[in-house]
Amino acid sequence: MAEPKCPECGVVGMDHIVSEESVQSSGVGDPFFNVAYCDECGHIYGVYAKTVNRPSTRMPPVPKHYFTRI
Ligand SMILES: [Zn+2]
């Protein structure tokens, strides 16, 4: 199994990839996204929607203005 390597500082290993809930207030107080980043230099690997604690197939209600500001 290949270990991930940080393109910024070159540190190798899953241990150096940490994820954190981004506190983007959705109005309900739940963190909406997780951010995976390098704990050495802070390089951001990616941002992904937090769905792990919602195992149901139903989509959570998302206010439209949260994504588009018209
Ligand atoms: Zn790094």
The dihedral through the CA atoms of 55, 56, 57, 60 has a sign that is negative
User: The pTM is what?
Assistant: 0.56
Residue 9 forms part of a structural domain: no
pLDDT tens, position by position, for the chain (70 residues)?
Answer: 789 999 999 999 999 999 888 765 556 666 677 889 999 999 999 888 876 555 555 555 665 665 565 5
Cα 5 to ligand 1 centroid, rounded to whole Å: 8
Cα 40 to ligand 1 centroid, rounded to whole Å: 5
Cα 25 to ligand 1 centroid, rounded to whole Å: 28
Domain that holds residue 19: 14-66
Residue 2 forms part of a structural domain: no
Cα 42 to ligand 1 centroid, rounded to whole Å: 6
Cα 45 to ligand 1 centroid, rounded to whole Å: 9
Split into its structural domains, the chain has a count of 1
Residue 4 forms part of a structural domain: no
